Amino acid sequence: MQTVRDLESLREAVAAWRTEGARVAFVPTMGALHAGHIALVEAAKGPGVKVVASIFVNPKQFGPNEDLSRYPRKEKADLTMLEEAGCDLVWLPPVEAMYPAGFATNISVAGVSEGLDGAARPGHFDGVATVVTKLFNQVRPDAAYFGEKDYQQLAVIRRMVSDLDMGIDIVGVPTQRDDDGLALSSRNIYLDDEQRAKAVALPRALGVAAQGLARGDDAENVLAQAHAALGAAGFEVDYVSLVDAETLALAPAADRPRRLLAAAKMGHTRLIDNIAIE
Ligand code: PAF
């Protein structure tokens, strides 16, 4: 596995694969890798495919009161995991290469970015869309892999890639979970034992609500019950919202694919999760 820290070497490696006729699959990450990221690499692998992962903790997607400075950084362990997973190249751009002095471009995706986490974390999805565009331009992949756990991020990237004719296949990979159902997240390490035990209420509340919605129960009641269950478990709830699975518009028609999304804080740790409504 190659590790590359300058753009010229990245471009040379990718160009050499292209002359061999390989496809390039890309897994962008912020490091602190877990089995959810490895599932992205596994999904990206295939005959004639070279897999590039990036590790870059993107300052532009953190708000002023968020956890940029304490976001976990584990480069050595991350590289071992990626090598064992069969990744071909890891792109580790320095922050000065991503955002040199004078950097002035912002990518903003209206609509799908605006509610839910977009409302709770102003500027977050502009930061994601901007860095993902830049990473796409650096790697120039045929396909890119994102976890469904960050469902709104996936919807924003799909919209952006379609709107801007980027010509990259965006593949959503199902959320990986611990045995009790909690979605894997780099931020789970902030939970103490007691908080971790309580956090399982999040996937459970979503599971119960999804069953009710699939049965045709009244959506307002179902969402209120999920909200109450999270509060009772010790969460401070940000939102529990039923949305159109593509546009993320609220109050979706029942004959459209729907998704239930939630964000809630356990102590200082903000967790998100989501589930399809079958
Ligand atoms: O999902 C993430 O880890 C990040 O938001 C991403 C897509 C790597 C952009 O920084």
- What are the extents of the domains in the chain? 2-173, 186-273
pLDDT for res 55: 98
Would you tell me how many other CB atoms lie within 10 Å of the CB of residue 76?
8
Q: Which residues contact 215 (CB under 8 A, 6 or more apart)?
A: none
Q: How far is the CA of 34 from the centre of ligand 1 (A)?
A: 14
Mean pLDDT of the chain: 97
Would you tell me how many other CB atoms lie within 10 Å of the CB of residue 227?
18
Q: What confidence tens digit (pLDDT) does each residue in 133-161 have? A: 999 999 999 999 999 999 999 999 999 99
Q: Are the folds of 2-173 and 186-273 the same?
A: no
Q: What confidence tens digit (pLDDT) does each residue in 212-235 have? A: 999 999 999 999 999 999 999 999
Alpha carbon 71 to chain centroid distance?
Answer: 15
Which residue is closest in CA terms to ligand 1's atom 1? 29
Residue range 69-80: mean pLDDT, rounded:
96
pLDDT for res 251: 85
Which residue is closest in CA terms to ligand 1's atom 5? 128
pLDDT for res 252: 85
pLDDT for res 81: 98
Instruction: Report how far residue 246's alpha carbon sits from residue 248's, in angstroms, rounded to the nearest whole number.
Output: 6
Out of 3.40.630.30, 3.20.20.70, 3.40.50.620, 3.30.2350.10, select the CATH number for domain 2-173: 3.40.50.620
Site to substitute for ligand 1 among 113, 128, 138, 186, most atoms within 8 A of C-beta: 128
Give the confidence band of 96 by pLDDT, cuts at 50, 70, 90: very high
Which atom of ligand 1 is the closest one to the Cα of 150? 1
Of 72-76, 109-113, 115-119, 251-255, the least confident: 251-255
Which residue is closest in CA terms to ligand 1's atom 2? 29
Residue range 89-107: mean pLDDT, rounded:
98
Q: How far is the CA of 124 from the centre of ligand 1 (A)?
A: 11
Q: Which residues contact 24 (CB under 8 A, 6 or more apart)?
A: 14, 17, 18, 49, 50, 52, 139, 140, 141, 142, 143
Please give the full DSSP string across 124-144, using - where no structure is assigned: HHHHHHHHHHHHHHHH--SEE
Q: How far is the CA of 220 from the centre of ligand 1 (A)?
A: 32
Give the confidence band of 104 by pLDDT, cuts at 50, 70, 90: very high
Residue range 237-263: mean pLDDT, rounded:
95
Which atom of ligand 1 is the closest one to the Cα of 157? 7
Cα angle 99, 101, 104 (rounded to 5 degrees) comes to: 70
Out of 3.40.50.1100, 3.90.226.10, 3.20.20.70, 3.30.1300.10, select the CATH number for domain 186-273: 3.30.1300.10
- CB 22, CB 14: distance < 8 Å: no
pLDDT of residue 73 exceeding 90: yes
Give the confidence band of 110 by pLDDT, cuts at 50, 70, 90: very high
Give the confidence band of 263 by pLDDT, cuts at 50, 70, 90: very high
Which atom of ligand 1 is the closest one to the Cα of 28? 8
For residue 61, give the DSSP letter.
G
Q: Which two tokens stand for residue 113?
A: 């970015």
- CB 274, CB 149: distance < 8 Å: yes
Residue 234 amino acid letter: G
Q: How far is the CA of 150 from the centre of ligand 1 (A)?
A: 9
Residue range 251-278: mean pLDDT, rounded:
95
pLDDT of residue 254 exceeding 90: no
Instruction: Report how far residue 83's alpha carbon sits from residue 56's, in angstroms, rounded to the nearest whole number.
Output: 17
Which residue is closest in CA terms to ligand 1's atom 8? 29
Within 6 A (CB) of ligand 1 lie 28-30, 58, 61, 128, 131-132, 150, 153
- As a whole-number percent, the residues of the chain with pLDDT over 70 amount to 100
Q: Which two tokens stand for residue 64?
A: 């002023």
Catalytic residues: 37
Q: How far is the CA of 171 from the centre of ligand 1 (A)?
A: 14
Instruction: Report how far residue 184's alpha carbon sits from residue 202's, in angstroms, rounded to the nearest whole number.
Output: 12
